[in-house]
Amino acid sequence: MEIDPQRIAADLCYKLVIGCVVPRPIAVVSTVSVDGFPNVAPFSYFTVASHTPLSLAFTVGGPKSDGSIKDTLRNARFTQDGGVGEFVVNIADESYADAMAKTGESLAHGESEFDHSGLTAIPSTVIKAPRVGEASVAFECVTTHVIPIGAANLVIGEVKHIYVRDGLVDDRYRVDAEKLGAIGRMAGNDYVRTRDRFEIRTLGR
């Protein structure tokens, strides 16, 4: 089958890409609005953008069905654009998977996904946006780029502080993948655990 993405509808491109680009790690992004309201939502269009400077990237899709922009983008965008210019990437894991999925449900602006999901907003260390208390890893970021891609926006932030739960990282900064229990997103409502790993030894490693 040969497919020209220009010739198929956007929802079919979406189905194809979320079925093929798998598994996708999930950033549970917590933010705060200019008037101090906390927000949290999951994003699987998410990756590391750079490690010098340490930067993370995620993409916020087009507007909600009512035409308004997603609260995460509203809050994470630069202050001159009406945002706070900060966000926290909390790594999604098995221990709060159901609550994470609840934060993805579309609520009206001003309704708290923290209340809706039962997740706990706790103060971050160096930024105003809260982190998720249930997450074992949280990257506190200051927004450095907001790049429009069609109706979507790629948001990149530089990591200013990292919270890692005690016992998860050894003295050589190696993360215990079993303890982290990160999850990833497949298509539709499907997710994966990260317990089925295998090793490939290459020269020098």
Ligand X SMILES: Cc1cc2nc3c(=O)[nH]c(=O)nc-3n(C[C@H](O)[C@H](O)[C@H](O)COP(=O)(O)O)c2cc1C
The residues that touch ligand X, with contacts defined as CB under 6 A, are 26, 39, 41-45, 59-61, 70-72, 101, 104, 106, 113, 185
The smaller minimum CB distance to ligand X, of residues 60 and 132, is found at: 60
- How many whole angstroms separate alpha carbon 198 and alpha carbon 204? 18
- Count Cα atoms within 13 angstroms, Cβ side, for 9: 3
**Which lies closer to ligand X via its Cβ, residue 134 or residue 169?**
134
Count of Cβ atoms closer than 10 Å to residue 92 Cβ? 29
- Taking CA atoms, 126 is separated from 11, 59, 178, in Å, by 39, 23, 28
- Tell me whether residue 44 or residue 55 sits nearer to ligand X (CB atom): 44
> Considering the complex, what minimum distance in angstroms separates the CB of residue 120 from ligand X?
17
How far apart are the C-alpha atoms of 68 and 195, rounded to whole Å?
Answer: 38
Residues 6+ apart with CB under 8 A from 56: 27, 46, 47, 48, 49, 89, 139, 141, 156, 157, 159
Cα–Cα distance for residue pair 155/63, rounded to 1 Å: 15
Of 60 and 119, which has the nearer Cβ to ligand X?
Answer: 60
Kindly state the smallest distance separating residue 2's Cβ from ligand X, in Å.
27
Minimum distance from CB of 161 to ligand X (Å)?
22
- Nearest residue (beta carbon) to ligand X: 104
Min dist. Cβ of residue 125 to ligand X (A): 23
140 and 159 Cβ atoms separated by less than 8 Å: yes
Q: Rank residues 94 and 169 by Cβ distance to ligand X and give the closer one.
A: 94
Return d(Cα 128, Cα 33) in angstroms, integer: 10
Nearer Cβ to ligand X (115/176): 115
Q: How far is the CB of 60 from ligand X (least distance, A)?
A: 5
Q: Minimal distance in Å, beta carbon 174 to ligand X?
A: 27
H helix intervals, the chain: 10-20, 71-76, 97-103, 113-117, 177-180
